[in-house]
Structure 1
Amino acid sequence: MGTMERAIETVGLVKTFGETRAVDGVDLSVPAGTVYGVLGPNGAGKTTAVRILATLLRPDGGEARIFGHDVVREADVVRAKVSLTGQYASVDEDLTGVENLVLLGRLVGHRKRAARSRADELLTAFGLTEAADRQVKKYSGGMRRRLDIAASILNTPELLFLDEPTTGLDPRSRNQVWDIVRAVVAYGTTVLLTTQYLDEADRLAGRIAVIDHGKVIAEGTPGALKSSIGAGTVHVRLREAHQRGEAAEILGAALAATVLPDADPLALTVRIGGGSERGAAEHASRALAELAAAGIVVDDFSLGQPSLDEVFLALTAKGAGS
């Protein structure tokens, strides 16, 4: 098949609920064997799109293929290839971790002994061996999420949908879920990850689609999305708050860019437009020299690539304005 095989291909996907177009002409192309991030605020249409791809909802327009199979006409073939956390992994609260996995293993067609050894293998891989004989209702949020993911890869799926897998988890549990996502991909599974967390998409995904109001408003690698809104961001912290106005004028003129005042009365942020990161560094050092010449003391200075948060704000502002 080569590296160019597409795990997901959608063209003009539409889903309406009454007056609301939850998914409004979404085009996606997801290479097999990768983590693909779908990023957007609550209500952006991420979950609806995932439910169409997992054959749980029929689209009202457009088409979607999973490994070349149409999600409507070949729904059975598609279901055999995909798994969706939180939806199919209907874990029973009253059973123990191991009982759940053995039961689900039997349901997907493993014989008793094979179901038991697969359950043990997954419990070990997901760090749940000690909790194996405890009822799931006594599990923490992070343990529960890990069991959900274990349940959804009992039959190593070709495509795993992770719909906001770390919402509401503490940082330690989030990191554990991230490690599992990496392990699942190393196994050869393609992962479609929907999330509201920019750092999550940044760490895990090779490519990201940003969705707002049912539309894809940007798509690319995390690096390309960051450089799309400018070559860099300069953060400056002054010693004297009363000099902030003058500093903003000097920086704005020197960098030919907009200066954003921070909540901190001593700080300023300047987004440098197009051009390379190296060019951005040269401009920034010139601007610093001009501040010094004007007698403005800078206590702290940094030049960085824009964060995904800044990209997201810039994109959604653009989307809202159009």
Structure 2
Amino acid sequence: MIRVGIFGVTGYAGYELARWLQRHPSASVVWAVSESSAGKRLAQVVPGPLDMPLLAANQVDWQAVDLIFTGLPHGVAAQTVAEARKHGVKAIDLSADLRLDSPAAYTRWYDHTHPHPELLNAPYGLPELNRAVLVDVPAIANPGCYPTSVLLGLAPLLEQGWWQTGQTIIINAASGVSGAGRAPKQHLHFVEAHENYSPYNIGHTHRHVGEIEQELSKLANAPVNTIFAPHLLPTQRGILSTIYVPIQPELDLASIHALYRQRYAAEPFVNVLDQGQLASLAHVVHTNDCAIGLTLAQPGMLIVTAAIDNLLKGASGQAIQNMNIMFGLPETTGLR
């Protein structure tokens, strides 16, 4: 049995993680941390069937767990992972603190110095791309939600070299409001978000751009430039990324579709839809799946639609998938 501790359990992703781990046959949540609600019980803070005492970080028993999940703000998460490693405890970080390859890149996108740059050698935990390097490692960087949809949507093309090198890829993505976290913000109030659809941080400013371009460039073995336009959807959960990618003009849709089907044939959580189908939130919400649709808009321009649940494949579900790989369990354990 994998003994688990959760930091940030009262956040949306942290609570979803606790909910799915409760049903996991080979893992058990030993303790959970919420600095803002320490001393209370989980059911008092988040009404529902889950209940356990909430601890402060300085109250945890490190010897009682094999693994921690950190659903904490960037900057804080790295300090917690470093503390876990000092006690010989493995970590899967759901924040951005382990995702970028260099301290300079982290400072550029997150506007402060990385508190533990020695942690930046952690493997990037997108199993469909990096499964081989996730086994029995001390820490894993759980990918961001937007990057997960984009990377899975583009990986076969870039790996095969079928995109037009040097051309900008345009990503129009939309997320449910849970993607912004539980902390109150004016634009997330019901009156602001309901029956509304609004862009934010468009162009080349959203913090996920650094992560997206870093990992796309590895897939392509060449620099990849993007324009990223995230939007807020008036839904609780789900991400839909619509990606416009210049491709080799001689390629036809049947060949591209066959490439995607072959690339993901053995992947339990990636569903390449039939030709003519477009990915939607309905394909994926409340699952750890990614649905991918392909449309040839005109010769030389492919539109990829990629949908995930931002709280599952975009966060806690993928974290459990990474835990399963880390500890040598069947990858789908607890996720079906």
Normalising by structure 2, we get a TM-score of 0.25
Q: Please state which structure has a larger fraction of its residues in helix.
A: 1
Radius of gyration: which is bigger? Answer: 1
Q: Please state which structure has a larger fraction of its residues in strand.
A: 1
Normalising by structure 1, we get a TM-score of 0.26
